[in-house]
Amino acid sequence: MWGFSIAALEAIFVWATATAAIAGALAVGAAFVAGMVGYQVSDLVSKEADRKIAEANARAEEAKEGAAKANAEAAKANERIAEMNRMRRVDKKQAETLKPLLQSAPFQQDATPPLTLRVSCVSDVEAQIYALELQNLFQSCGVDIYPTDGGLPRGIMQSGPEPHGLELLVRSVDNPVAEFVLFERAMLSAGMTCTVNADPSLREREAVLAVLKKP
């Protein structure tokens, strides 16, 4: 068969077998290396994906926190606006109702006998702003508003609840000065109802409009 001797055939068989064994070993080694490289590549890709997902989740959480803070600030701003809208103010119609009386001769600083109409208020921001508006109105009409607390309404203590948030203090409620009766009626016409009480420490022609906490 093919003219080879038995010794030659045995050598060829050994060579072929060895070659196959070496090739198989190389194949196994290559497969092992490929497997290791593939595993490492897969692990790196997986870690990178996890990192990006974690970063995306962190950004989403930051955005959520930012939105929550923005909503809270908006709610506070809306509450401040609502509080400002609830504040008492001297509107144009009320001022126009009071001006004719306040600008009349008996209420002027040079009136004879002199008359004083001061404004005071409790320690409350809303009341202080409202009191300052009333005092500015009185002063602009020529009314004697002094003494003041450095130009601001003087402080007063509130002893208890007041249904109208305004109190007109005069020396006597049994024998009141006519101008103060007219003033109380003008306030009522302007929609600014005030309770009238006596304060014997006041002079006869002196009155104090006390701005108390808003009911």
pLDDT tier at 129 (50, 70, 90 boundaries)?
Answer: very high
Write the DSSP string, 73-141: HHHHHHHHHHHHHHS----HHHHHHHHHHHTSGGGBTT-SS--EEEEEE-S-HHHHHHHHHHHHHHHHT
List Cβ neighbours of 182 (8 Å cut-off, separation of 6 or more).
Answer: 101
Confidence (pTM) = 0.65
How far apart are the C-alpha atoms of 37 and 39, rounded to whole Å? 5
Both structure tokens of 108? 């002027």
Average pLDDT of 181-200?
97
Phi-psi region of 140 (alpha: psi -120 to 50; beta: other; left: phi over 0): alpha
The pLDDT of residue 4 is above 80: no
The pLDDT of residue 91 is above 90: yes
Query: Mean pLDDT, the chain, as a whole number?
Result: 86
Domain map (residue ranges) of the chain: 1-86, 92-211
Both structure tokens of 64? 């959520």
- Please tell me the predicted confidence (pLDDT) of residue 10: 64
- Please tell me the predicted confidence (pLDDT) of residue 23: 67
Task: Give every strand in the sheet of 195-198, ordered side by side.
Answer: 154-155, 116-121, 206-211, 166-170, 195-198
Residue type, 66: G
Name beta bridge partners: 198: 170
Name beta bridge partners: 167: 195, 210
